[in-house]
Amino acid sequence: MKMQSSNRSASTQRGASLIEVMVSVLIMGVGLLGIAAMQATALRNSQSSLERSQAVIQSYTILEAMRANPAGVAAAQYNMVQTCNPPAANGTLAGQDLRDWIASLEQSLGNTPNTCGTVACVATNCVVTVQWDDSRGADGAGAGSTTYRIATRTQL
């Protein structure tokens, strides 16, 4: 009894390990690309979440300034149409608060043409709206500028 079958079997198996290595490298490459895509999505969503949080904080900032100046609210000095650039100083506390608020919006949400603020009060019922460009938060659709708004309603 000779062992010819084992020699023959080894010769038919040539190159199998090279194919296995190539397939495993391909699978590993696809997996790493998937991980990189998930990381990019996580970073984009994290930036969008940060901007939303900043918008809420900025809304509360102007509302607290208004609570500190009830005479200015009663005189409708805080009412402001959508403004994207800091207004000129008009010498009142309300005017300075609004100027500082718009400048702070631009600093925290980006100085883009879409970073704007609005304050509308009827008596003590107020609505503060913050608008900004959230195109980085758009899910890669490439739709250009995506404007996002947060409105806060309160009674002072």
Name the average pLDDT for the chain.
Answer: 86
Read off the pLDDT of each residue in 33-56 and give the average, rounded to a whole number: 92
Whether the CB-CB separation of 47 and 137 falls below 8 Å is answered with yes
Q: How far apart are CA 90 and CA 78, in angstroms?
A: 12
Least confident of 2-6, 39-43, 71-75, 91-95: 2-6
14-40 residue pLDDT tens = 667 888 899 999 999 999 999 999 999
The rounded distance, in Å, linking the Cα atoms of 156 and 151 is 15
Region 90-117: what's the mean pLDDT? 91
- Is pLDDT of 59 > 60? yes
Predicted local confidence at residue 44, as pLDDT: 86
pLDDT value at residue 5: 52
The 10s digit of each residue's pLDDT in 106-153 is: 999 988 888 999 999 998 899 999 999 887 766 655 555 588 899 999
DSSP state of 89: P
Our count of domains for the chain comes to 1
Q: What are phi and psi of 80, to 5 degrees?
A: -150, 125
Q: What is the domain extent for residue 121?
A: 4-155
pTM: 0.74
Residue 99 to residue 94: CA distance in whole angstroms: 9
